[in-house]
Structure 1
Amino acid sequence: MAMVVKNNIPAKNTLNQADKNDKALAKSLKKLSSGMKINSAADDASGFSISEKMRVQVRGLEQDIDNAQTGVSMMKVAEGGLQSTIDILSTLKEKVINAANDTNTDADRATIQKELNQAVDQLDDNANVQYNGKTMLDGSRNNYVKNPGTYTSLANESLYEGTNGSDRITSLRDFAGRSLGISSDSTIEFSYVLQGETYTTTLAVGSNILTNMFSRSVDDKGVRPSQSIIKMEFTANVGKDRVGDTVTTVNGNKALVFSAGQPGLDGQISGLTINVINKDGTINRTANAVLNNFTEAVQAENESPDNALVYQVGTKANQAVKIGFSDMRSVALGLKATNGDVLSIATQKKANAAISVLELAMEKALKLQTTIGAMESRMDFTVANLTTSSENTQATESVIRDADMAKEMTGYTKNNVLMQASQSMLAQANQSSSSVLSLLQ
């Protein structure tokens, strides 16, 4: 090797190696201090990109969990108001059953009416329950209801499946084909409630057919409603739902169906009772049990835009669940007319008709309670699923980005030793050039 002084190549090579060792040591220190093996895109461009996407995913999933949990809290507020409504309806049914008993005088019924009026007002307060300024049970958060609204439809599937509207009343049979025991000298009392007013008719059975049973309904003052209130059919198609689709009976067989003549709450039939009386004045309990077995196949609802609540529970657009709260005001439950008149129990017949009204109102409330409860249960599963997804995504991101501290400490120790060695050798390389001076003495 030539002995030179102008260019100290060994020292330069040693300095270059020392610089590499210094950078490696700095990286090791950065990884150990941050706990991550990828601290910037320069460390691993593709790994950094994948890791960042996963971090965004995790943050989105965590927000979804918060959304679902606050959604459940919101539904619990609505459920609380609805449970109060159900409790009130239970109490009111007890009261009207009492009012229907003739041990009470009309004066007693007037006293019970005062309790009824106050309880009905409380139903409206319950319907106005709010969460974060949003009123939930007053119908303002309902699903879409197609114009002009839905028509009340009450269906009775307890009659023999071969029954037709042209059958004589005396030939009516139950679902098992057994006669209801209605004779030509029996009479039938029929009543329903519309706009808080009870309409009734009494029919001598004679040779009348089924479709002629309920054609002359009037109120207790002999006043007939101004519009075509109700129609009766024996059919498997019980009406149309809120989006206009045909609703059929549960088993697909024909049923005795009563439908409102007008859509929405203005035409709502809020109670319907049939009482078959034998010629000796006794009640035909067998016939009444069958003929009064109605369920509400289609609930009366006013036309409405889609105001259902949307809970965002996914990291992509429209990954959401929706729930609409139907109208739980006293008007929608059939206990009050749109003009403010409260359901009357002033007489025994009106109190008896009110029992059916309370049954249908309870059916509406329990239906919504089931909807809310089912959604709460679903949201619990949603939270569990989101929590698992967040955990697994974070675990994957950890594999890509987090540093193995034991491995990085080993690398740090190696780089530290190499750095110290290169510093020592740099000193030796600088010293070797000075030996040339001995030749110049």
Structure 2
Amino acid sequence: MNLGLVTYGDESKIDAPINPIGDMVPSKSMGFPLDVDQFKNQVGHIEMSYGGDMDESGLEGIMEAHKIPNFRPDATKNYILITDAPVHERLPYVDSDRNGTIDTNEELASHVYSKHTIEDVIHTLDGEVKLTVITNSYANSQLEPLHSETNGLYLDINGMFGEQLLTLAEKITNESGGSFTEESMKPLVIHSGANSGQNIEIPLYDHRDFRLFLKDMALTPYEAAMEALDRVDAVIAKISDRRAEYGAISNRLGHAYNNVLNANENLTKAESQLRDTDIAKETIKLQKDQVLLQASQSMVAQINQMGQGILQLLG
């Protein structure tokens, strides 16, 4: 996996005829390809600067990223636009000297706002790039076509960002032919027997929609709908396998439960016999058994003496 990084700001001209503001931060490629450590280092050196207006030149940043060469022909391409504001778009130029008439001359229009429109950018990406937009709900009202029409994702920068990034990472990994390793959850361990080590481990799984890759599925265009169906089929198969696994564990728990019930019944009977013993009756029985034992011993001794007497007479 290769990473690239492009910074952008507000490229509006300071001397523009209208809205003469802007921080004059041009789009700049920070290098490609970058490994993870290089990417982290470049991100750490990004410095924010103040801009005079709200909108930023996000479209210029996307187009700058699209200039990066050396993509493999079979590579899965994903762009991620991070912004907290709407973007400048190419708009008609209003000449106040001509009573508000609109001049659609692109050169004059770009002098004020941007050289691009959102439709231009979508057309340029031409289905080869999936664009994810990380922004707030206000800016997304303008930027929504960028991710919806390129089969990308929208991540709310003010939402559960960690979970959303996990969804994005899983989506990119799966689309590139890799496998996404789920975070392991500690199993539930149940002691199911009378002896040490007689345990049953129940594996636990995270089945939230973003972990199952079911969140933010697109139904248009046709390719996106087919991809959504494939994802649903994969999740159904996964859930079926786990239901079968839990079914087998349920049977084990049922047998363990029955064994515990039998052991409990036997233990209760033994405890009851000890607790409910008739002391007087048992004392008499003990004396009787002792008398019988003594009588038996006396009879054995007499028989032995009679045998010795007979042998003496014969001898």
Please indicate the TM-score interval, normalised by the length of the shorter structure.
0.3 to 0.5
The TM-score, its normalising length taken from structure 2, stands at 0.34
- Which structure is higher in RCO with an 8 Å CA cutoff and minimum separation 6? 1
The TM-score, its normalising length taken from structure 1, stands at 0.25
